[in-house]
Amino acid sequence: MTTPPATTPPAALRPDCANCAALCCVALPFARSADFAVDKPGGRPCANLTSDDRCGIHARLRTSGYTGCTVFDCLGAGQHVTQHTFGGSSWRDSPDLAVRMFETFPVVRRLHELRWYVEEALGLPAAAELHAELTGAAERLRVLADGSPDELRACDTDALRAELTPLLRAASTLARSAALRFAALDATALRPSAPVPAPRQGTAPTGRRRGKEKRRAGAGRRNGGGGAERGPVEWAGADRIGARLGGATLRAANLRGTYLIAADLRDADLRDADLTGADLRDADLRGADLTTALFLTPSQLAAARGNHTTRIPAHLPRPDHWRP
C-alpha cells in the first residue's frame, strides 16, 4: 500500500513562456559560477535574449555554461505578472514600467511557490483535517498574487512563509505518519504465515560473525536504511552533502532543507519523504523512487541527476537534460 499522489497543481502554477515577456531573463541577477558563464545584474537583459523575447542558445544552454537557466522554474509567475498584473504590457514599453515589473516578479514567484505547497497539501488525503485551513490559505495566496503592483511590492512574503510553515509541516506530519502505517501493513502482509524455523545446532553466530552482523545493521541505520519500525529519518536542515545513500530507505523521511548536494541516492526509497527546500543539486537520483515524495518542485528535480529509471511524481515534468 502507498499514499495516493498529490493532486496536479493548477495551470496557473506552471510556466507559460509564450505569454511572458522573458522576465526571468531580465529581472533576475546571476553571478559567474558553475551555473552561469558570466555576471549579469538584475534589470539588465541577458546577452542571449533576442528581440522577440526568446533565448538565442536555448537548445545548448547547459553546454554554453548556463546550467542555472535550465533548473529555474518561475511556477507561472512570469506570465501572471505580464498578463494579469500589467495587462499584457512588456518591460520594453518604458523604463518606469520595467522597474515596476522587475520589482513585482520575485514577489509573485515567492507567492506561487507557497501556493504550490498549499495546493499539494490540499491533495493529501491524510491531511483532510486541515482542509479548511489549507483552503483558506490557498484563497488568501491567490488574492495576494492577483493584487496590484503597489500591493505586491508591499507584500511581506517572508512573514507569510513563517505564518504558513507550521500548517504545511502539520500536513506533512499527517501524510508521513499515514505512509508509515501503510508501510507497516504491507510488511505485515508479506510476513510468512508459518513460524520461522529455529536455526540448527551449531549455526548461531558467535564472536567475529556476530560482530560483523551488528556492524552491517548499524551501517544500515546510519545511512537511512531500515524499515518502518525504526520510525522516519529526521534530517531536517542536516548536512548530507556527498553522502553515500545508495539504496537507503528514506520512506517518509523529514528532509526539509536538508543539504543533499552531490549525494548518492541511487535506488533510494524516497516515497512520502518531505523534500521541502531540500538542496538536490547534482544529487544522483538514478533508480530512486520519488513517486509520492512531498513538496518536491520542478526546480529541485532539474537540479539533480537522473534518468529513465528515476521514478517521479506524475504531476512533475521529467527534466529534458536527464540522460537514459
| Torsion sign across C-alpha atoms 152, 154, 156, 160 | negative
227 pLDDT more than 70: no
CATH of 219-324, one of 3.10.20.440, 2.70.98.60, 2.40.50.140, 2.160.20.80: 2.160.20.80
**pLDDT at 152 > cutoff 80:** yes
d(CA 279, CA 237): 10
Cβ partners under 8 Å of residue 117, min gap 6: 164, 168, 276, 295
Task: Calculate mean pLDDT across residues 16-38.
Answer: 95
d(CA 160, CA 27): 23
Q: Grid coordinates standing for 32?
A: 559567474
The domain limits of the chain are 11-28+72-174, 219-324
The per-residue pLDDT for 187 is 58
Q: What is the DSSP letter of 292?
A: T
**pLDDT, greater one: 1 or 130:** 130
Res. 100: pLDDT tops 50: yes
| Measured distance CA(93)–CA(235) in Å, rounded | 48
pLDDT over 50 at 157, yes or no: yes
Say whether pLDDT at 21 is over 70: yes
Q: 196 pLDDT band (50/70/90 cuts)?
A: very low
User: Residue 120: phi, psi to the nearest 5?
Assistant: -65, -40
Query: Could you tell me the pTM of the whole model?
Result: 0.84
One-letter amino acid at 155 equals: C
254 bridge partner residues: 234, 274
Report residue 270's pLDDT band, with 50, 70 and 90 as the boundaries: very high
Reading the block at residue 36, the C-alpha cell is: 552561469
Q: Residue 197: what pLDDT?
A: 40
